[in-house]
Amino acid sequence: MTNDLQLFPGLDPAPTISKPDVGGGVSHPARFSKALMPVLAAAVPLEEYPLVLDPFAGTGRVHELPNDTVGVEIEWEWARLSPATICASALDLPFPHHTFDAIVTSPTYGNRLADHHNAVDPDRRRSYTHDLGRALHIDNSGAMQWGSVYREFHAAAWAHVWRVLRPGGRIVLNVKDHIRHGKRQHVAGWHVSELMGFYGLELVWCTELDTGSLWAGANAEARLPEQVFVFDKIHRAGS
């Protein structure tokens, strides 16, 4: 087995003081913010959506919801932080059809957190690769910049989400746009179009809020707000 750390000899898997330890010496650059949690909880009332899946669970903050929650996370260091998270791929969800009442998730945004070069300042660099301290799994979109590869990956992931979500179920999506070369990259709009256009989901409501996270680095003056979209599964794709 290849030691992934050999691919990034300048990286140290142990976080520094600039990278908060979220458990067991592990860091993560893009957890659900505390400000988002009440919004997410309001979108999936326990009595209507008792069983919730996060297919991109990261460090497992979805488990702070009052619902019964299951997380799927591809990187074992993050998956092991919660007993309710399994280490698996969002492209191969190990559940039967129509298992879950709701999906609550935040896919990667395709922004600078996807940087994965061997940086000269890994101790201060925030990205999925640099926070984890090694190369990411091939099924981890955390190293995918916004573009065709990113869209193909998430289109495949949404197909698996659709399969495991029951009819009448709900998808709560947290995502945001970003600025690249002075232009807004419409990441959120693509996800919304994919879910509504291809899968026929009904957009129930949406909101945005400024969580104030990671306000540093390139384009810091043009940070865009977090967005939350809530969809209901009302009919089968193509029907």
Per domain, the residue ranges of the chain are 4-173+187-214+227-232
Question: How many Cβ atoms are within 10 Å of 220's Cβ, its own excluded?
Answer: 10
Q: How far apart are CA 45 and CA 146, in angstroms?
A: 32
Tokens of 111: 């922004």
pLDDT at residue 1 is higher than 60: no
Our CA dihedral for 93, 98, 104, 105, rounded to 10 degrees, sits at 30
* 156 Cβ neighbours under 8 A, 6+ residues apart: 91
Q: Please indicate whether residue 204 or residue 5 has the higher confidence score (pLDDT).
A: 204
List of long-range contacts for 121-128, beta carbons under 8 Å, 24+ apart: 122/8, 122/10, 122/11, 122/12, 123/12, 123/16, 123/18, 124/16, 124/18, 126/19, 126/29, 126/214, 126/217, 127/29, 128/28, 128/29, 128/30
Chain segment 139-172, per-residue pLDDT in tens: 887 777 788 999 999 999 999 999 999 999 999 9
* pLDDT at position 97: 97
Q: What is the pLDDT of residue 145?
A: 79
* 219-235: average pLDDT: 78
Of 4 and 194, the structure prediction assigns the larger pLDDT to: 194
Q: Is the pLDDT assigned to residue 11 strictly greater than 50?
A: no
Higher pLDDT: 9 or 55? It is: 55
pLDDT at residue number 34? 84
pLDDT score, position 181? 83
CATH number of 4-173+187-214+227-232: 3.40.50.150
Each residue of 182-223: pLDDT tens digit?
Answer: 888 889 999 999 999 989 999 999 998 876 654 444 444 357
Q: What is the pLDDT of residue 123?
A: 55
**pLDDT, mean of residues 84-106:** 97
pLDDT tens-place string over residues 27-67: 665 566 888 899 999 999 999 999 999 999 988 999 999 99
Question: Would you say residue 14 has pLDDT above 90?
Answer: no
Q: Which residue has the higher pLDDT, 117 or 43?
A: 43
Task: List Cβ neighbours of 164 (8 Å cut-off, separation of 6 or more).
Answer: 53, 93, 95, 96, 97, 98, 99, 100
Kindly report, residue by residue over 75-91, the tens digit of the pLDDT. 888 899 899 999 999 99
What mean pLDDT do residues 109-113 have? 60
Confidence of residue 129 (pLDDT cuts 50, 70, 90): low
Mean pLDDT of 21-30: 65
pLDDT of residue 19: 64
